[in-house]
């Protein structure tokens, strides 16, 4: 109720529209201007014309679960800054903490009480976190985790899974984009498909690629490469080909196999951390892992990354001749640390994850009902605070190969463009996922279902 009152106040104060899209004239103008100075008019390809047609909706204001574009059109936001905004936009507590901290000095690059307070809360919530090291992005966290694993094991190679994204550090940029199935090679020995130019081939010589959610193929691959691996890294719920949960017991098997071969098990919780449970998916699935990485929701909208694990591994960063180097002017950024501490206090409240699950499950059930009624062959996959819609005849998408082969990503893009016209903000990229924040309400779910119904009718 409080949130809805604030949104209503914003509408009055800024003369914003209460319903969806009339015109995108200013969005077009600003995007045209931006293209003069920025590559593709944006700062990441996922925000420009690679995904949005004919160009992005240019946003300028957010409150709770709602955003407004530069033309004053209002949307319910289900992208939530790719999952960073666990409490929605401009949460009053975060605004208060930020305003106060900025006035006192936003960063000293020196020891502060704020970093100790953030770390204490982090350790209380994350089961495997004997200690934590903060960085600035998820990419930095996964980069550091790999360096630690290599130093700890004295091995160079590591295993990543097809379709998993761990940020844009060189060795992770492999088999992360979708390709026609013919290009993928045999599951026991997938072709290595770089996601980027500019990375030496020699970097990929140290990467072993395996299909995900398939324990017996992994066992075969490990028989060949297991003894050389410093680590196996995985997302717990595959979140960069939509939303693909692990098969029952799969993550436990991967963890046991890693240990059997003397490799570390790294769980990349950049997307799932603090979202699926106070202690992330390691708590949800009760996993005994070595290192885990975090970002996104940990910073409630501010740039953050973190690596957590046992002292025996993280202490390798202690200053010495043989240390694992991890520097960074902005590590433990005071403003961000204050936000992290406030955010983790908010996330520790008992009802929070229950609410995330209730709203998410209602959206999932409602969408399934809309597609059933409209006779649209679509699968809504996921649970609780994260899900994805796949236009497919299949009744489940289990991995990257299913995604590449059976999902109609063009239809999804058309569908989401219609949703944008009906007041729902989401990225048209099928590789991403729908996000529920603590700011979302049942009313937002109703708005989504009404828009999905109209979009389904538009596309029939
Ligand atoms: C699972 C996973 N790991 C790491 C990253 C990289 O995080 P960042 O974008 O903060 O560098 C992402 C980003 O989407 C991610 O989804």
Per-residue pLDDT of 194-214, as tens digits, reads 999 999 999 999 999 999 999
Q: What is the Å distance from ligand 1's center to 21 Cα? A: 31
**Backbone angles phi and psi of 173, in degrees to 5:** -85, 60
For residue 366, the SS3 value is: helix
For residue 57, the SS3 value is: coil
Q: Is 165 a known active-site residue?
A: yes
Which is catalytic among the residues 10, 75, 157, 296?
296
| pLDDT value at residue 20 | 53
CA 428/CA 280 separation, integer angstroms: 26
Dihedral of the alpha carbons of 397, 403, 405, 408, in degrees to the nearest 10: 100
Spatial contact of 106 and 98, defined as CB atoms under 8 Å apart? no
Please count the CA atoms within 13 angstroms of the CA of 230 that sit on its side-chain side: 18
Question: Residue whose CA is closest, atom 2 of ligand 1?
Answer: 166
Q: What percent of the chain has pLDDT over 90?
A: 95
Q: For residue range 36-72, what is the model confidence (pLDDT) as tens digits?
A: 999 999 999 999 999 999 999 999 999 999 999 999 9
Between 459 and 163, the higher pLDDT residue: 163
Tokens of 119: 């770390």
Q: Residue 239: CB within 6 Å of ligand 1? A: yes
| pLDDT value at residue 18 | 53
* pLDDT of 106 higher than 70: yes
Q: For residue range 292-337, what is the model confidence (pLDDT) as tens digits?
A: 999 999 999 999 999 999 999 999 999 999 999 999 999 999 999 9
Question: Residue whose CA is closest, atom 13 of ligand 1?
Answer: 167
Q: For residue range 76-86, what is the model confidence (pLDDT) as tens digits?
A: 999 999 999 99
Report residue 1's pLDDT band, with 50, 70 and 90 as the boundaries.
low
Q: Residue 433: CB within 6 Å of ligand 1? A: no
Q: Residue 268: CB within 6 Å of ligand 1? A: yes
Q: What is the Å distance from ligand 1's center to 16 Cα? A: 33
> Which of 143, 166, 299 has most ligand 1 atoms within 8 Å of its beta carbon, as the pocket-test mutant?
166
| pLDDT value at residue 22 | 74
CA 105/CA 90 separation, integer angstroms: 20
Spatial contact of 99 and 335, defined as CB atoms under 8 Å apart? no
Spatial contact of 117 and 345, defined as CB atoms under 8 Å apart? no
Q: Which atom of ligand 1 is nearest to the CA of 295?
A: 10
Q: Is 268 a known active-site residue?
A: yes
Instruction: Provide the residue count of the chain.
Output: 460
CA 30/CA 26 separation, integer angstroms: 6
* pLDDT of 273 higher than 60: yes
Q: For residue range 358-400, what is the model confidence (pLDDT) as tens digits?
A: 999 999 999 999 999 999 999 999 999 999 999 999 999 999 9
Q: What is the Å distance from ligand 1's center to 165 Cα? A: 7
Residues 6 or more apart whose Cβ sits within 8 Å of residue 215: 247, 250, 253, 254, 257
Q: What is the Å distance from ligand 1's center to 333 Cα? A: 19
Q: What is the Å distance from ligand 1's center to 239 Cα? A: 10
Which is catalytic among the residues 75, 165, 285, 412?
165
> Which of 134, 135, 165, 241 has most ligand 1 atoms within 8 Å of its beta carbon, as the pocket-test mutant?
165
| pLDDT value at residue 214 | 98
* pLDDT of 19 higher than 60: no
| pLDDT value at residue 21 | 62
Tokens of 400: 């990257």
Q: What is the Å distance from ligand 1's center to 453 Cα? A: 32
Using CB atoms within 10 A of its CB, is residue 138 exposed (0-12), middle (13-18) or buried (19+)? buried
CA 85 to chain centre: 11
| pLDDT value at residue 456 | 97
Average pLDDT, the chain: 96
């Amino acid at each position: 109720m409080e949130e809805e009152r604030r949104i209503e106040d914003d509408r009055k104060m800024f003369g914003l529209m209460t319903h969806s899209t009339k015109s995108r004239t200013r969005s077009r103008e600003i995007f045209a201007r931006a293209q003069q100075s920025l590559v593709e008019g944006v700062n990441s390809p996922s925000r420009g014309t690679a995904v949005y047609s004919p160009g992005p909706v240019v946003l300028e204001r957010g409150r709770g679960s709602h955003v407004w574009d530069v033309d004053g059109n209002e949307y319910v936001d289900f992208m939530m800054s790719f999952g960073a905004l666990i409490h929605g936009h401009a949460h009053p507590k975060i605004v208060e903490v930020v305003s106060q901290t900025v006035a006192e000095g936003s960063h000293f690059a020196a020891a502060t009480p704020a970093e100790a307070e953030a770390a204490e809360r982090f350790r209380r919530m994350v089961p495997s976190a004997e200690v934590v090291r903060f960085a600035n992005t998820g990419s930095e966290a996964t980069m550091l985790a790999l360096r630690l694993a290599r130093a700890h094991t004295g091995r160079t190679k590591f295993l990543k899974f097809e379709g998993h994204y761990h940020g844009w550090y060189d060795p992770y940029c492999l088999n992360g984009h979708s390709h026609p199935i013919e290009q993928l090679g045999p599951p026991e020995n997938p072709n290595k498909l770089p996601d980027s130019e500019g990375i030496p081939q020699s970097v990929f010589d140290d990467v072993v690629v395996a299909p995900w959610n398939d324990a017996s193929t992994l066992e075969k691959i490990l028989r060949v490469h297991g003894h050389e691996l410093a680590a196996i890294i995985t997302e717990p719920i595959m979140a960069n080909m939509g939303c693909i949960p692990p098969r029952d017991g799969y993550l436990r098997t991967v963890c046991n196999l890693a240990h059997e071969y003397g490799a570390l098990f790294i769980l990349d919780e950049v997307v799932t951390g603090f979202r699926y449970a106070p202690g992330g998916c390691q708590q949800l699935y009760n996993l005994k892992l070595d290192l885990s990485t975090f970002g996104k929701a940990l910073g409630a909208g501010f740039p953050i990354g973190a690596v957590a694990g046992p002292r025996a591994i993280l202490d390798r960063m202690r200053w010495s001749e043989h240390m694992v180097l991890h520097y960074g002017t902005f590590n433990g950024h005071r403003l961000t640390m204050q936000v992290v501490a406030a955010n983790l206090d908010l996330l520790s409240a008992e009802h929070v994850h229950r609410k995330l699950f209730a709203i998410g499950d209602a959206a999932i059930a409602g969408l399934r009902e809309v597609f059933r009624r409209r006779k649209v062959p679509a699968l809504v996959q996921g649970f609780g605070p994260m899900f994805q819609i796949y236009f497919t005849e299949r009744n489940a998408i289990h991995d990257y190969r299913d995604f590449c082969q059976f999902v109609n990503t063009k239809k999804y893009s058309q569908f989401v463009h219609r949703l944008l016209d009906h007041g729902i903000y989401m990225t048209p990229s099928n590789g991403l996922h729908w996000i529920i924040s603590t700011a979302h309400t049942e009313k937002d779910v109703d708005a989504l279902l009404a828009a999905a119904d109209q979009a389904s009718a538009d596309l029939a």
